[in-house]
Structure 1
Amino acid sequence: MTPYDAAHSQGSNVLTDGFGRTVTYLRVSVTDRCDLRCVYCMSEHMTFLPKAEVLTLEELDRIASAFVGLGVKKLRITGGEPLVRKNVMGFIEGLSRHLRSGALQELTLTTNGTQLEQFARPLAEAGVRRINVSLDTLKPELFRRLTRGGEIARVLAGIDAAQAAGLKVKINAVALKDDNAAELPELIRWAHGRGLAVTLIETMPMGEIDADRTDQYLSLSALRAELESFWTLRELPLTTGGPARYVEVAETGGQLGFITPLSHNFCEACNRVRLTCTGTLHTCLGREDAADLRAVLRGGGSASDLVDAIRMAVDTKPKGHDFHIERTLPPAVARHMSTTGG
């Protein structure tokens, strides 16, 4: 199949929702599968999607390229764990043509790091310049428990390989009240000592899991106040196209971000949408909205039909999410983060 050219998109190359926000950032999930089973992300015995429901890499390329033609400047490849998808490097290398043309400003990736030792250099050669690595603890036994069997040594080797390949690495850590809250300052010191930025994330109420998230929820507003009791946090006028708010830790010289979907809503400037590996477009992480782009592709839709479907979905993007985390309420959305795309 000939790669879809972003220039084939029809009409204006600006994608604006009903509230006047311009969408410039697409997160593309290439698989719902993962080689870890993080306790806050998925159930221990997950039922993964049948292959027939998952878009081919060519179909994912066609949709992602249509978004580039509509003015999206940043593509983030996600999963599940994206690097477990067969031939994913061919997909990423194909998308890099939009970097070379200048239509795309950034092609990046979120990963759990287990496969990075193998893929770090090919990613750099494909034009990826920075990646996010999910890492909630430096303690091997706690890592094994949180991931249900993962080996932290593989992740650390992957981070080493990524830095050696010249990739800029940011650590994403989910703040968990009972498991890693006390360790987070040390995790931050370790990362900053290696020249790695860190972003802390509140646990999000997505999908039924085996535990009650209210037991683990930690407000980052409270955590930040604690950090400020022994560190100097300087506000940074920085945005990377996501929801994080950034500070510099004066004592370490490193960058620290906070993603606070519950304690501090970040929807007013939302510029991103998510495409699942099944071709479902979600314009809000915390809503059950959905547009079926797979039906357009497999129903013989033209490039113009695909663009029309994307525009219609983005036009109805909600003003904000419905996240809540209360013991008496079900998750805000039924789908798991691994299905949505992290």
Structure 2
Amino acid sequence: MGNFKMLIDRYGRSIEYLRISLIDKCDLRCSYCIPKGFKEFERPANWLSFDEIVRVVAAFARMGTSRFRLTGGEPLLRKDLPELVARLSALEGVEDLSMSTNGTQLEKYAQPLRDAGLHRLNVSLDSLRRECVQEISGSDSLPKVMAGLEAARQAGFNKIKINMVPLPGVNMPDIEDMVAFCIQNQFVLRLIEVMPMGVTGQKQDYVDLQNTIEQLKDKFNLQESSRVFGGGPARYWETPNSDFTLGFITPRSQHFCETCNRVRLAVDGTLYLCLGQDHQLNLKPYLSDNCTDEELDNAILKAIDLKPERHEFNASPEKIIRLMSMTGG
């Protein structure tokens, strides 16, 4: 069919990146993501099937989207995941297939995922101190994550990204240790400002990372990088005499809405057009009704037309009550 229908929104932004939530459940309860005791997850009967996910990804790829990220919840809790990865990586137009994970199941799945065609991995890790990881995640998960990272490296994943959310009074003093750890292991470190998603995210004090950038820049002799690592919004810095790269994702202190190139597919088939707004369109009815490819393409085009100009995290932080795990990472 060719890319005759390109996904360009009303503000001239090309949609090159789709994040896909495979499951909203998670085996951790990170303080900035899912409230303790929360059990109102989507029932598996309402999840998109592998066939439906493949149809949606194929449609986006037909219209020029080339980067796809599998997220959750925790995507490795989705049964038979390597089978889905193999099907997606084989689709025409899928140039970059990556996954975000908390790493607790990675020791078991790293090699099967690599064999199935997964290109890249992002692993969440908010501290190297075991008690701090337990405080943030609600679980003594650090040994599992470390074993998972080693398994991923053995499986041949390069430039693994470590995602760290700095939280005041919790893990701020750990940032320099994390930089040293990532230099030693040739990981890419990304510091992410906490987003006010749901009650938990809205309760978190947020760290403006602009000061942190200045401090780390001086200490580690960082220089702004023009290299691109994936299709996301991070700005990267590099050290001149080593392979180390540090990324900053700053949706609040320095938002990147004017260049936003992504949308999110929730586990129930809802396409969210902005993390910080409620614009959405549910693709599940089209898929359940065995729509034609053209009908699916047109539904996606209709959704992209709803994409707002910008989020309102700073002006209206209480606006979005859905959880991060429901939206798709």
What does residue range 103-142 of structure 1 map to in structure 2 within 5 Å?
A: 103-142=93-132
1:62 matches 2:62: no
Alignment counterpart, residue 273 of structure 1, candidates 255, 263, 271: 263
Aligned partner letter, 1:181: M
Q: 1:209 matched to which residue of 2?
A: 200
Letter in 1 for 2:9: D
Contact 1:235/1:246 (<8 A) preserved:
yes
1:244 aligns with 2:234: yes
What CA distance in whole angstroms lies between the structure 2 residues aligned with 1:64 and 1:229?
42
Q: 2:222: which partner in 1?
A: 233
The amino acid of 2:35's aligned partner reads S
Unaligned runs of 5+ in 1: 1-6
**Could you state the TM-score of these two structures normalised by the residue count of structure 2?**
0.95
Deviations 1:55-74 (A, max 9, x none): 11211111111111111111
Aligned residue among 301, 304, 317 for 2:291: 301
Output the amino acid matched with 2:31. Answer: V
Q: Name the stretch that deviates more: 64-73 or 244-253.
A: 244-253
Change (3 A) 1:51 1:174: same
TM-score normalized with structure 1 length: 0.91
The DSSP-based 3-state class of the residue aligned with 1:203 is: coil
The 4+ residue runs of structure 1 with deviation greater than 6 A are none
- Residue number in structure 1 paired with 2:134: 144
- Identity of paired residues, percent? 39
Distance 1:228 1:92 in 2: 37
Deviations 1:7-35 (A, max 9, x none): 5x8x7142111111111111111000111
Q: Give 2:51's aligned amino acid.
A: E
- Cα distance, 1:210 vs. partner? 8.5
Which ranges of structure 2 fall in alignment gaps of 5 or more residues?
none
Q: Give the deviation of 1:332 after TM superposition.
A: 3.5
Deviations 1:131-164 (A, max 9, x none): 1000000011111111101321000000000001
SS in 1 for 2:169: coil
SS of structure 1 residue aligned to 2:199: coil
Q: Supply the RMSD in Å over aligned alpha carbons.
A: 1.7
CA distance in 2 between counterparts of 1:13 and 1:126 reads 29
Aligned mates of 1:207, 1:75 — CA distance in 2: 25
The total of aligned residue pairs comes to: 326
1:338 and 2:325 aligned: yes
Q: 1:191 — aligned with what? A: 182
Please, which of 48, 62, 73 is the counterpart of residue 41 of structure 2?
Answer: 48
Contact map agreement 2:131 2:140 (CA 8 A) in 1: no
Cα distance in 1 for partners of 2:176, 2:68 equals 31
Question: Is residue 43–residue 210 contact of structure 1 (8 Å, CA) maintained in 2?
Answer: no
Please name the residue that 1:25 is paired with. Answer: 17
Distance (Å, rounded) in 2 between the aligned partners of 1:64 and 1:12: 16
- Answer with 279-288 or 231-240: which moved more: 231-240
Contact 1:83/1:111 (8 A) holds in 2:
yes
Query: Are the aligned partners of 1:234 and 1:247 in contact in 2 as well (CA < 8 Å)?
Result: yes
